[in-house]
Amino acid sequence: MNRDRTFNNRRTGYQYRSKARRDQPRDAVFQTLRRVEEDDAFANLVLPIEIERHHLNRRDAAFATELAYGTLRLQGRYDAILSRLTDRPLKELDPEVMTVLRMGTHEILGMRVENYAAVDSSVDLARDRISSGPAGMINAVLRRVTQKPLEEWLDLITAGLSEEKSLAVAFSYPEWIVWALKDSLVASGREAAELPQLLHAQNAPAYVTLSARPTLVTADELAIAAETYLDVDTRLGELSREAVVISGGDPRRLRLVTRGYAGVEDEGSQFLVDILTAVPVSGTERTWVDLCAGPGGKTALLAGFAKEKDVSVIANEVAEHRAELVKDSVKALRDTVTVITGDGRDFGAKHPGKADRVLVDAPCSGLGSLRRRPEARWRKQPADLQDLAPLQRDLLHSAAQATKPGGVLAYATCSPHLSETRALVQSVLEKREDLELLDATEFAKLAAVNPAHDFGPGPFLQLWPDRDDTDAMFMALMRKQETHEN
């Protein structure tokens, strides 16, 4: 293991092989993309099933993952290119033909695949899964894609566009998301000129990160186990002391994960728990609450810290099936955690002043985890955020009611959008005199592996993929004052 917290990338390219073997990874990707489009399925759930069904080895599974996720992320860019190479509007083409064209374009412009292999395999896939009819058109279109490098295609499809529209097409985002990310960057103290590097980082595949749960296993022990049993490179977290980043492999093969001693959790998510537990609280601590606990990753980490302090954790989750996921996540810490099913908006009224620490990991748009959910950017609409806002506010009010005087409350989202983050928190603070906003960046420095890490200006904490190598997690910290409840 590399103690300098870096590791070599073991990603391997995919070689052009005989047809029988060549079609298996691509067929798994084709089936995944069709499920994503037809059934609104999630690629991160469907693809592993297809990989297993097609009996892909580790090398082919890595190829399939890169092809599936890259095609989904960059389909906006590729559609802009393909629209210049077809005789009909893309919306008039058969959806299955579009899937093959997008896959082939990504192989040509986004992967280390020889042009002839990308074109020929796409034609073979079309013949196998659609018919021989469109094979000639697919062959002709993809051969035209090969005639220009990516840089020339990007210049062509962005020519004459406004800055935001150009970035949206080049980096493959809906334009409203580009505007939202730009506004959030500026609000968090960064320069608008940094937007392209953020968009690029959101398009880069995220490494899998494991979370070592305190009292059960250390990060060093978890890293050694991952290297030994998964045959991967590892590095320790840059921010969270519990984080172990792995270069590949299936965490489900790791016994520490299946037993609940460790879990899979983005380092940013882990770090928010580190920060919450680093804030001083007056009096003897007895109870911590995770108000929106499903699926349980943060709950389990919170429980590990709670066990060290002989504190109990209440994990509340509104959906029964997600409550079952929480129970599975905390199975190694079941003596510390009580999992209940209920509406978090009602928790505060039922348990006023119950908790010393409360975490509100609020339901949100998920715009901060686009690198892990490649199809999400094409499914989200601005109206989705408007629908979520009342729920987020009510949960924050409920959490404040559940926090004891002198206790601390953390509001978190996996979204940098201003309407879900600082604007929402400020709207709640305007109506509550019993909450004092703390500087989350100062406590982040106390909790971080590297206290010199630049988290930007406070009082809110906004993590970024390009700066912090995490999902774009947001956090606001508040302390409950000895005043009358609103």
- CB-based contacts of 71, cutoff 8 Å, min separation 6: 29, 33, 78, 102, 103, 106
pLDDT by residue (tens digit) across 423-440? 999 999 999 999 999 999
| C-beta atoms surrounding 443 within 10 Å | 24
pLDDT by residue (tens digit) across 267-276? 999 999 999 9
pLDDT the model gives residue 483: 59
Six-digit token string for 271:
């770090």
pLDDT by residue (tens digit) across 349-358? 999 999 999 9
Cα–Cα dist 314/306, whole Å: 11
Cα–Cα dist 307/206, whole Å: 31
pLDDT the model gives residue 338: 98
Runs of H (alpha helix) within 40-190: 43-53, 58-73, 75-82, 95-110, 115-129, 135-145, 150-158, 163-171, 175-187
pLDDT by residue (tens digit) across 41-78? 999 999 999 999 999 998 999 999 999 999 999 999 99
pLDDT by residue (tens digit) across 447-465? 999 999 999 999 999 999 9
Whether domain 19-152 has CATH 2.30.29.30: the reply is: no
pLDDT the model gives residue 17: 41
- The H or E element spanning position 304 is helix 297-308
Place of tokens 């959101």: 202
Contact present, 460 and 440 (Cβ < 8 Å): yes
pTM of the complete model = 0.91
Q: Is 414 a catalytic residue?
A: yes
Region 144-151: mean pLDDT is 97
Six-digit token string for 152:
């020339």
| Nearest residue to 260 via CA among 214, 300, 208, 298 | 300
In one letter, which amino acid is 307? K
Residues annotated within the binding site for S-adenosyl-L-methionine are: 292-298, 317, 343, 361
474 phi, psi to nearest 5 deg: -115, 145
| Nearest residue to 216 via CA among 276, 303, 279 | 303
- pLDDT(4) > 90: no
Contact present, 414 and 464 (Cβ < 8 Å): no
b/e 119-150 (16+ beta carbons within 10 angstroms → b): bbbbbbbbeebbeeebbebbbebbeebbeeee
In one letter, which amino acid is 228? T
Contact present, 66 and 81 (Cβ < 8 Å): no
Contact present, 255 and 326 (Cβ < 8 Å): no
In one letter, which amino acid is 354? K
Compute CA 396 distance to the chain's CA centroid, rounded to the nearest angstrom: 22
- pLDDT(21) > 90: no
pLDDT cut 90: percent of the chain above it: 91
Six-digit token string for 424:
């929402």
Listed by start position, the domains of the chain span: 19-152, 160-203, 267-480
Contact present, 248 and 62 (Cβ < 8 Å): yes
- pLDDT(226) > 60: yes
Cα–Cα dist 108/102, whole Å: 10
Region 295-301: mean pLDDT is 97
- CB-based contacts of 220, cutoff 8 Å, min separation 6: 1, 236
DSSP state of 452: T
- pLDDT(484) > 80: no
Region 146-159: mean pLDDT is 98
pLDDT by residue (tens digit) across 230-274? 999 999 999 999 999 999 888 999 999 999 999 999 999 999 999
Contact present, 268 and 463 (Cβ < 8 Å): yes
pLDDT the model gives residue 5: 46
Residues annotated within the binding site are: 292-298, 317, 343, 361
> 461-462 and 435-438 as β-strands: parallel, antiparallel, unpaired?
unpaired
Alpha carbons within 13 angstroms on the beta-carbon side of residue 184 total: 28
Q: What's the mean per-residue pLDDT of the chain?
A: 93
Domains 19-152 and 267-480 share a fold: no
Strands (E), 193-301: 208-212, 234-236, 243-246, 262-264, 287-290
pLDDT by residue (tens digit) across 119-135? 999 999 999 999 889 99
DSSP state of 251: G
List residues bridging with 244 in a β-sheet. Answer: 210, 236
Local confidence band at 282 (pLDDT 50, 70, 90 cut-offs) = confident
Local confidence band at 13 (pLDDT 50, 70, 90 cut-offs) = very low
- CB-based contacts of 132, cutoff 8 Å, min separation 6: 126
Whether domain 267-480 has CATH 3.40.50.150: the reply is: yes
Region 373-389: mean pLDDT is 93
Catalytic residue (one of 82, 125, 154, 414): 414
- pLDDT(12) > 60: no
